[in-house]
Chain A
Amino acid sequence: MIEVCDVSKYFGEKQVLHSINTNFEEGKVNLIIGRSGSGKTVLMKCLVGLHAPEEGKVLYSGREFHNMPDGEKQHLRAEMGMVFQGSALFDSMTIEENVAFPLDMFTQQGEGEKRDRVDFCLECVDLQNINRLYPAELSGGMKKRAAIARALACNPKYLFFDEPNSGLDPKTSLLIDELITKITHDFNTTTVVNTHDMNSIITIGETISFIYQGRLEWTGNSSNVLASDNPVLNDFIFAQPLVQRLKK
């Protein structure tokens, strides 16, 4: 479980996160939702250590992350996998090399063992026969899936997805959502997804934290998100005419 306790983050004079308190549960898909610029990505970057919060702490199974000694932090980071908005695959490497990269860096596995693991991870995300291709030769959806395969390579305990559906068509978005749910339940990972995709919110959010202007406005799950009487959340959820019509 990941616990976020009173986390505040400033950029210069500007405070972008205001005392956020929330938990992300093990074996569940935990969503962070909110409008663009609300502080979702900053919160996620605080979780993975790309930003250090000025106040508050982030606990991984009770261990405080930001004040850990470097060695321990590195060990914990090896238990994390992250899929970035733009996939962040290494351009100069083939897909096989990309997925094998964490194995090269953190394990002593032999070539055969590594190849088996790479094939397994690519199979998990339903990608075959693309081992020798470069990221530039793949579509957006395939890149996302390859990035998920790379994140899975070292059997992570914690998985982070930064807007996994952005730039994808609705059908591919659905596939990615299904994949996230399947991986979370199959491997019992603590999955944190940063999204403003309505379909993801309604279908895969086992816990939902709604961030508004840097503050935690509402917490719940996909079954009560539509019935909430929080006006700010309703404003966000029912912003699209199609959803408004569905509500009526």
Chain B
Amino acid sequence: MLFKGLVTIGDYFIFLKKVFSKPAKWSVFFKKLVFEMDTMGIGSMLIVSIVSVAMGSVITLQTALQIESSWIPSWTVGFTARTSIVMELCPTILSLLLVGNIGSRITAEIGSMRVTEQIDALEVMGINPASYLVLPKVSASVIVNPVLCIFSIAFALVGGFLTVWITDCVSTYNYIDGLTYCFRVYDVIYAVTKTTIFAFVMSTVSSFYGYKIEGGALELGKASTQGIIVSSFIILILNVVITNLML
């Protein structure tokens, strides 16, 4: 079991070496990069916005209900909601959501290409399939996910605002006051850094599981699930490590 795990880790790094080699043709790489950015970014925007608004609403409502005390100033709701959203919920929950959305798509796409010999066809043509197929996906996710994270933060804060406005649990003035209180740009940098690292893990691990498939449709399903589980697990571990290192 341990030996198998070590072999998989070794294979993963060998795979990364293949992925990060010079693309066969830069113009083709950029064309694919734009396509992937469009698919990942625009394709995920709806789900990201819905989840973020809901997340912002709930966290604001929960905070308002938990700290109902005359000793605690009202802006605390906005302040706590903002801190939770910026520093933890958006980068981590969003990344886990994208593992399910984008990561599984990457595994399925590359895996089905492996099963139908399309990857072999690329290899016979003298093209490095890992670099041709995976590098644009990794680059796109590393560019797009942080942007999605920023949008997610904005949507979540708007969700919180709407909740405050509709339920009147605190005044909108106090909520906005809390949002802006002690705001540090570093918190956003921290969130974006985490999302970028998580995006790299998500895209490379998902691609790896798709690329190394041997067999047919059954293995494709298994690889998709494995890719999601392993990516999520690594993201959760890294979350602890990065938080320790950066805060």
Contacts and interface: CB of A to CB of B under 8 A. Distances in A.
A105 B123 contact: no
Interface in B99-122: 112-113, 116-118, 120-121
A104 B120 contact: no
A85 interface: yes
Interface string B116-135: 11101101111100000000
Q: Which of A77, A88, A91 has the most CB of B within 10 A?
A: A88
Interface string A96-137: 000001101110000000000000000000000000000000
Contacts of A105: 24-25, 28, 125, 127
A204 interface: no
B126 A78 contact: yes
Nearest to A150: B121
Contacts of B116: 86, 88, 91
Contacts of B121: 82, 84, 88, 90
Contacts of A90: 113, 118, 121
A48 B124 contact: yes
A50 B120 contact: yes
Contacts of A225: none
B124 A73 contact: no
Contacts of A84: 117, 120-121
Contacts, number: 51
A77 B125 contact: yes
Given A104-B28, A105-B25, A86 B117 contact: yes
A74 interface: yes
A86 B120 CA distance: 11
A88 B28 CA distance: 20
Contacts of B24: 105
A6 B88 CA distance: 61
B126 A77 contact: yes
A49 interface: yes
Nearest to B112: A91
Given A104-B25, A104-B28, A105-B28, A49 B118 contact: no
Interface in A64-97: 73-78, 80, 82, 84-86, 88-91
A224 to B, nearest CB: 32
Contacts of B123: 49-50
A78 B120 contact: no
Contacts of A104: 25, 28
B25 A50 contact: no
Nearest to B128: A74
Interface in B164-219: none
Contact of A85 (B117, B118, B126): B117
Interface in B33-67: none
A74 B117 contact: no
B125 A102 contact: yes
A88 B120 contact: yes
A88 B117 contact: yes
Interface in A139-187: 160
Contact of B124 (A82, A101, A106): A82
A101 B124 CA distance: 13
Interface string B135-174: 0000000000000000000000000000000000000000
Contacts of A91: 112-113, 116, 118
Nearest to A147: B121
Interface of A: 48-50, 73-78, 80, 82, 84-86, 88-91, 101-102, 104-106, 160
- Top 7 nearest A-B pairs (CB, nearest first) are A77-B126, A88-B121, A88-B117, A74-B126, A84-B117, A82-B124, A48-B124
26 contacts: A48-B124, A49-B124, A50-B120, A50-B123, A74-B126, A75-B126, A77-B124, A77-B126, A78-B126, A82-B121, A84-B117, A84-B120, A85-B117, A86-B116, A88-B118, A89-B118, A90-B118, A90-B121, A91-B113, A101-B125, A102-B125, A104-B28, A105-B25, A105-B28, A106-B125, A160-B124
